[in-house]
Amino acid sequence: MIDSGVAAPAPADLDADDPLAPVRELFDLDDDVVYLDGNSLGAPPRAVAERMRHVVREQWGRRLIRAWSEGWWDAPLRVGDRIGRLVGAAPGQVVVGDSTSVNLFKALVGAVRANPGRDEIVVEASTFPTDGYIARSVAELTGHALRPVPPDELAGALSERTAVVLLNHVDYRTGRLLDAAALTEQVHAAGALVVWDLCHSAGVLPVELDALGVDLAVGCTYKFLNGGPGAPAFLYVPHAAQATFSQPLTGWAGHREPFAMEEGYAPAGGVGRGRAGTPDVLSMLALDAALDVWDGVDLRDVRAKGLALTALFRAAVEDLPGIGVLTPADEWRGHQISLRHADARAVVGELVERNVIGDHRPPDVLRFGFAPLYVRYADAQRAAEVLADVLRTR
């Protein structure tokens, strides 16, 4: 590390000047716990529990089936627009429902159908496992070849055979952030379409889907968007692609007239054609309540704090014995720090016993996710101190 000769601000001073500090008060958190696993499951906003009591007692309990026409049925599109604001999508281009895996299946099949005459699907070589599983399934079902390619080699690997490229905006294991603008341009230059997985970037990075000309995107809502365990995922289909977007799961919710009960399938107009089955209302409305914490939040503040939190933590732990750092030191990282240690599972277990919660990925990776809406600089410092003590006493 380079010593600049200037003392870094103390975490307490940074917390005092943090523009996001008031947002933390909107979460139900235990001050005795340092929670650094928001990249797996976000913390619950306080308002969610009361909102769900209202949904169960009043909407479901009193309004009963009438609630479907009083907001339930349209929730996937209304909540989708709220997420759209956080990923750079104009209204009418994001729909919420199903899981990330299901939406990824829709997106990949839709992309293959939109780009006929090409017989190859390219996936990032280090892709999140379920993305690889789904891509392989789509390739087998559509008769396409599946080819894993490292992102750094993408430009030279694409050809007239490539129909679609699937990329993860942030690598789940290392925290590396890909250059979405440059890679989208490379894919388009080859005549292919791109599908971005935003699971580890939605809610922490100022994603600009419309501005980048992204073809399709998917993402989950239970990580940095704090939607709760099993919260529904989202699918982005830009206006220009909606009229021809042909997704394979033609369930009744995506029908033009779902309550007409017609024998034949006719897709809905707009992004609603990305829907499949009946929306899971309770999870959907819990997510809707959780998204209230984003009202008035500037994603530039979120990104700035995320970079500062991860820099503070990284600087404090990178020289600890037995530790290797996987996450890039420059700004090309998401809001997590991934470390390597031979006994990663045991180390994470000891950290959890001391109320510092991160997670482990086999065989030797420790992951610490920094959600700027509720993680404080003092939390980053405490986590580093506890990790140092755990390693010192092993």
* HEC per residue, 62-87: HHHHHHHHHCCCCHHHHHHHHHHHHC
What's the alpha-carbon Rg for the chain, to the nearest Å?
A: 22
Instruction: Dump pLDDT digits (tens) for 296-322.
Output: 999 999 999 999 999 999 999 999 999
Spatial contact of 214 and 181, defined as CB atoms under 8 Å apart: no
Ranges under pLDDT 50 in the chain: 1-7
Length of the chain: 394
Angle at 168 between CA 312 and CA 366, to 5 degrees: 40
- Spatial contact of 176 and 328, defined as CB atoms under 8 Å apart: yes
> How far is it, in rounded angstroms, from Cα 178 to Cα 197?
11
Active site amino acids: 128, 197, 222-223, 367
C-alpha to C-alpha distance for 40 and 117, rounded to whole angstroms = 38
CA 241 centroid distance within chain: 22
What 8-state DSSP symbol labels residue 57? I
pTM for this structure? 0.95
User: pLDDT per residue over 363-394, tens digit each?
Assistant: 999 999 999 999 999 999 999 999 999 999 87
28, 293 Cβ separation under 8 angstroms: no
- The per-residue pLDDT for 8 is 59
Contact indicator for 162, 146 with CB cutoff of 8 Å = no
Q: Which residue has the tokens 């959907």?
A: 284
pLDDT value at residue 239: 98
Domain architecture of the chain: domains with CATH: 11-32+297-393 (3.90.1150.10), 50-294 (3.40.640.10)
